[in-house]
């Protein structure tokens, strides 16, 4: 019997590529089963029937509590940011929170130098973790799921990666917050956001930067995808902007491919199809999800990915290209960089 994720991958229809500078985006549509009638995290928070809070007055860095008082399930996307409370966090995995239920959700901190706030309640954010940082986070979760059956990350490495990203963009954030990087580069992001337009019925995207595959993203409902589109798009655009800045600072640029005379794109749909086919050949491992359904994890020599499957439908999937710059062997343990971690912890748990 064919794997559910393969049915969705092979059922994807690629639209006409959209191009801006070194970034190429293929819109994706699909007529396959949309799964249960869910709503997105931002939409749910707006209703007032869904809330995300610290697990208690003292809080816990790697956990938050989601409470759904509504009638519909709520989809929380891997890498999606929640803002406020004691510190900003991102989701460690995609979760579907059932109606009239509550669940403790695994998260990672993306704001190192804050552990206080006027409220224990989290707010919606317009950001999602940068695509390459999310790729590394998926790798970390994959590692810990196999060994500990836990949706946890290597927090110190995430802090370090955000520090490096801030340095890359020359952004100084008082609390080392990921969101400050997005805010500082708002104008650069807007130029790209205007260039890439949501198409009718779009449920996904595939992105190439400098003619290399970066990632494939899919959400089963076009209404949900339309609400998530700007967040998802910005997470890829930030990487395109980063590479552009590196060129401007004198680093050796990657060699560009010639444009296809028929489409004007340096990337053909055949390359996109080849990536999808490679994704379908990845080894699959299945784990009980934190909420409803099954969390599926994928790995090959060139691709890493994850998907949420609920009642025979894939609600969300993401596959990232793995190049020589990523070590997939083993994420570092928290104690391997102990002096830096000790500084972070002192900052986190100092009374304010």
Residue 298 has pLDDT above 70, yes or no: yes
Question: Confidence class of residue 267 from pLDDT cuts 50, 70 and 90?
Answer: confident
Model pTM score: 0.89
Closest CA to 130 of 141, 138, 121, 140: 138
In sequence order, what are the beta bridge partners of 74? 39, 97
Q: How many CB atoms lie within 10 A of CB 71?
A: 10
Question: Confidence class of residue 246 from pLDDT cuts 50, 70 and 90?
Answer: confident
| Residues 6 or more apart whose Cβ sits within 8 Å of residue 36 | 73, 96, 310, 311, 313, 315
Whether the Cβ atoms of residue 352 and residue 115 lie closer than 8 Å to each other: yes
Question: Confidence class of residue 156 from pLDDT cuts 50, 70 and 90?
Answer: very high
What share of the chain has pLDDT > 90, as a percent?
Answer: 83
Provide the pLDDT for residue 266: 74
Q: Sort strands 101-109 and 204-209 into parallel, antiparallel or unpaired.
A: unpaired
Provide the pLDDT for residue 260: 54
Residue 336 has pLDDT above 50, yes or no: no
Q: What residue segments make up the domains of the chain, in order of their start?
A: 4-247+258-322
Question: Confidence class of residue 52 from pLDDT cuts 50, 70 and 90?
Answer: very high
Residue 226 has pLDDT above 80, yes or no: yes
Helices (H) and strands (E) in the chain, counts: 9, 18
Whether the Cβ atoms of residue 80 and residue 94 lie closer than 8 Å to each other: no
pLDDT: is 259 or 52 the higher one? 52
Give the chain's mean pLDDT.
Answer: 89
Cα→Cα distances 314→3, 149, 319, Å: 11, 21, 13
Q: What is the DSSP string of 281-303?
A: TSEEEEEE-SSSSEEEEEE-SSE
Residue 328 has pLDDT above 50, yes or no: no
Question: Confidence class of residue 347 from pLDDT cuts 50, 70 and 90?
Answer: very low
């Amino acid at each position: 019997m064919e794997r559910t994720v393969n049915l969705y991958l092979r059922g994807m229809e690629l639209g006409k590529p959209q191009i801006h500078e070194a970034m190429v985006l293929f819109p994706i549509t699909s007529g396959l089963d949309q799964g249960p009638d869910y709503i997105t995290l931002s939409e749910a928070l707006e209703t007032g029937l869904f809330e995300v809070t610290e697990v208690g007055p003292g809080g816990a860095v790697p956990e938050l509590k989601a409470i759904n008082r509504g009638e519909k399930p709520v989809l929380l996307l891997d890498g999606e940011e929640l803002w406020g409370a004691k510190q900003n966090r991102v989701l460690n995995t995609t979760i579907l929170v059932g109606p009239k239920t509550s669940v403790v959700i695994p998260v990672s901190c993306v704001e190192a130098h804050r552990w206080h706030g006027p409220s224990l309640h989290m707010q919606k954010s317009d950001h999602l973790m940068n695509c390459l940082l999310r790729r590394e986070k998926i790798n970390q979760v994959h590692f810990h799921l196999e060994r500990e059956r836990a949706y946890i990350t290597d927090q110190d490495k995430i802090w370090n990666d955000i520090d490096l990203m801030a340095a890359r963009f020359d952004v100084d954030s008082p609390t080392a917050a990921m969101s400050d990087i997005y805010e500082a580069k708002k104008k650069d992001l807007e130029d790209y956001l205007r260039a890439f337009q949501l198409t009718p019925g779009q449920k996904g995207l595939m992105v190439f930067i400098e003619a290399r595959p970066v990632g494939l993203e899919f959400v089963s409902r076009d209404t949900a995808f339309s609400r998530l589109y700007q967040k998802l798009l910005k997470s890829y655009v930030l990487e395109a902007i980063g590479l552009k800045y590196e060129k401007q600072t004198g680093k050796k640029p990657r060699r560009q491919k010639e444009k296809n005379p028929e489409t004007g794109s340096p990337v053909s749909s055949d390359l996109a199809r080849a990536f999808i086919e490679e994704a379908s050949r990845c080894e699959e491992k299945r784990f009980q999800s934190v909420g409803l359904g099954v969390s599926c994890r994928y790995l090959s020599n060139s691709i890493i990915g994850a998907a949420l499957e609920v009642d025979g439908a894939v609600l969300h999937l993401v596959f990232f290209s793995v190049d020589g710059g990523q070590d997939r062997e083993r994420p570092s343990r928290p104690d391997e960089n102990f002096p830096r971690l000790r500084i972070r912890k002192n900052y986190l748990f100092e009374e304010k």
